[in-house]
Amino acid sequence: MSTVAVPSGQQRRTAELEDRISRAPETFRVMTGDRPTGPLHLGHYFGTLHNRVRLQDAGVDVFVIIADYQVLTDRDVADRLTAHMEGLLLDYLAAGIDPARATVFNHSAVPALNQLLLPFLSLVSVAELNRNPTVKDEIAHSRQSSVSGLMFTYPVHQAADILFCKGNLVPVGQDQLPHLEVTRTVARRFNERYGEVFPEPDALLSAAPLLLGTDGTKMSKSRGNAVALRADADETARLIRGARTDAERHITYDPENRPGVASLVLLAALCQDRDPHAVAEEIGAGGAAALKRTVTEAVNARMEPIRARRAAYAQDLGYVRSVLRAGNERANEIASATLAEVREAMGAVI
């Protein structure tokens, strides 16, 4: 497990929410999503995808946004957008997102959602936008020579993503907490100024441990160090064979001192629903070669049904696209109703 410090208040709140979810799932609407910049990988699967499916199966109304406009925050052009959107849809369906129960949509297809951005922008100051630590970090890592207005304001756009459907629960990793604060601020200020329209959504902190990429750094679509859901068994074996380990032969689970080895052990443990210490102990003197064999087998066994479903859906892209069309239709209905409410509350309807 990673040892990221989480404020205990947030942790307690998350435990409370999990309890309420199990007792009254129908009172929650979850909003989550991804930027369509590349295929989802094992870090996404164990970090968020798996959790979305769990919430959906528990009876929560789940909305999944393909954040196409958000791709443009740190690059000039959204490259191969159609292919990336189809790829995400395939990953979602393969992982168990069920279009009969969940709504998958992309925000450029929902004009009324985007229009909420205008009144929302009026509710936050430039100084507040300037202070957002996640945006600051993204700006620091951006390859663009200047910061676009979209980069600067996207947390407010994300507030529109969440509030258009009155989402009240947002599963997040630690890095997305500042964004959720923006959403809560926007909702609160709107309600104060114009009357009660929006819920103040809660963060559902992910308990997911951090998986590192095969080079020992953060697993990421753009770093070429990730095993994609769609990778086949051979590619998986090749990637894991090349993963960075260390000179110590005996395998232990020690994330602090042996991050590369620990991440591989953790990956096998997650795939097998086992405790990482037990996995490490079993391999022990077998060394890195045995570890990599175990991980490869575990990943391929766990992913086999997901990959088979993905391949089957890939044969029927007409159906896959119809899933997005239906999701967009539902999102548009909801967004139009919310925008009407907003305009009414602002006194803009005569």
Q: Answer yes or no: are the C-beta atoms of 294 and 245 closer than 8 Å.
A: no
Q: Answer yes or no: are the C-beta atoms of 153 and 126 closer than 8 Å.
A: no
- Is residue 35 at the binding interface for ligand TRP, with CB under 6 A as the rule? yes
**Length of the chain (residues):** 350
Query: Which residues have a Cβ under 8 Å from the Cβ of 68 and sit 6 or more positions away?
Result: 35, 36, 78, 81, 85, 106, 107, 108
- Interface map 152-191 toward ligand TRP (x if CB under 6 A): ------x--xx-------x---------------------
Task: Considering the complex, state which of residue 60 and residue 291 has its C-beta at the smaller distance from ligand TRP.
Answer: 60
User: Which listed residue (14, 28, 34, 342) binds ligand TRP by CB under 6 A?
Assistant: 34
Q: How far is the CB of 18 from ligand TRP (least distance, A)?
A: 18
- Is residue 33 at the binding interface for ligand TRP, with CB under 6 A as the rule? yes
DSSP secondary structure string for all residues of 134-176 = HHHHHHHH--SSS--HHHHHHHHHHHHHHHTTT--EEEE-GGG
- Is residue 60 at the binding interface for ligand TRP, with CB under 6 A as the rule? no
Q: List the interface residues with ligand TRP, window 236-275 (CB under 6 A).
A: none
φ/ψ region of 155 (left if φ > 0, alpha if ψ in -120 to 50, else beta) reads alpha
Q: Is the dihedral of CA 180, 181, 183, 184 positive or negative?
A: positive
Task: Considering the complex, state which of residue 65 and residue 123 has its C-beta at the smaller distance from ligand TRP.
Answer: 65
- Is residue 70 at the binding interface for ligand TRP, with CB under 6 A as the rule? yes
User: Which listed residue (67, 169, 208, 271) binds ligand TRP by CB under 6 A?
Assistant: 67
**Closest residue by beta carbon to ligand TRP:** 67
Q: How far apart are CA 104 and CA 98, in angstroms?
A: 9
- Is residue 342 at the binding interface for ligand TRP, with CB under 6 A as the rule? no
Question: Where do contacts with ligand TRP occur on this chain (CB under 6 A)?
Answer: 31-35, 65, 67, 70, 158, 161-162, 170
